[in-house]
Amino acid sequence: RKKVTIAHLHALRAARTPITMLTAYDYPTARACEAYGIDITLVGDSLAQVCLGYDSTTRLTLDELLHHTRAVARGSKTPLLVADMPFGTYLASPEDAVANAVRIVREGGAEGVKLEGGMEMVETVRRLTSVGIPVMAHVGLLPQRHVALSGYRMQGRDAESAMGVLKSALALEEAGAFAIVLEAIPQVLGSYISQRLRHTPTIGIGAGPGTDGQVLVWADMVGTWQGHQAKFVRRFAEVAKEVEKGVHAYAAAVRERSFPGPQESYEMPKAQWDKFER
Ligand code: KIV
Ligand code: NA
């Protein structure tokens, strides 16, 4: 498989071939994205909830993100590797964003960064792009702003807010974003924005089937996440059920001494044992 580049993503969009993106948080999940043909691996800041047990992405630090990005970078080589900029690492100024994005690329091994926001992020996206750091934008529902938004709610429901999402997407394309995540917006709006953009691929999560690609959180997709499940999630596997079966069976086997069995135990030559016992 050939290395996935930004040009390759543009070619997929032009060919109307859907782009596949998945989050990964560690070496094994990164290996799966590598081995099973995913186009973009995202070290999402959903890491905060699904791996680290925080109740909000706003708690994730840059150092925590870097630690996980390094592990993902070791496992995912062919997909384009993008990492989320944690809350607070790109908000103060474009300079601050550049300094932190440089760390994510240099220390983490990411090839691009993702950041949340609309018009207010245009200058920052322009700056990052101008110095050669590829930026994936993210509009619609912005999980880092869940408190300001009064929860994880669908965005762009009325004409005015839909226009706001569209204008943000157009401005972010103009600023140089190489792709745009559309989260939790009406499917008609997801399709419309995808068509209105000149060349920038859209990656939808709860934005309907009309976007240029789709992304899901790993733990939602494989069914390991036991918390709240958004409307836009489909579980493509039921790994949590397998984990439960496995843990129960293991503990039962240990307790009844059926594990380990002879084939899981090492032998010693009888002569050596006799000598040892003497
Ligand atoms: O953090 C995340 O997982 C994300 C994607 C789901 C888009 O931002
Ligand atoms: Na995120």
What is the percentage of the chain residues whose pLDDT exceeds 70? 100
| Residue 226 pLDDT exceeds 90 | no
Q: Which of 232, 209, 205, 229 is nearest to 219 (CA)?
A: 229
Q: What ranges do the domains of the chain cover?
A: 6-237, 242-277
Q: Which of 97, 107, 106, 103 is nearest to 128 (CA)?
A: 97
Residue 151: pLDDT band with limits 50, 70, 90: very high
183 counts as catalytic: yes
**pLDDT tens for residues 34-55?**
999 999 999 999 999 999 999 9
User: Residue of the nearest CA to atom 8 in ligand 1?
Assistant: 44
User: Residue of the nearest CA to atom 4 in ligand 1?
Assistant: 44
Report the residue among 50, 51, 183 best suited for mutation to probe ligand 1: largest number of ligand atoms under 8 A from its CB: 183
CA angle 67, 72, 78 (to 5 degrees): 150
Region 64-87 average pLDDT: 98
Cα(270) to centroid(ligand 1), Å: 58
What is the percentage of the chain residues whose pLDDT exceeds 90? 99
**ipTM, 2 decimals?**
0.99
Residue 134: asked if its preceding bond is cis (omega within 30°), the reply is: no
Fold of 6-237: TIM Barrel (3.20.20)
Region 71-85 average pLDDT: 98
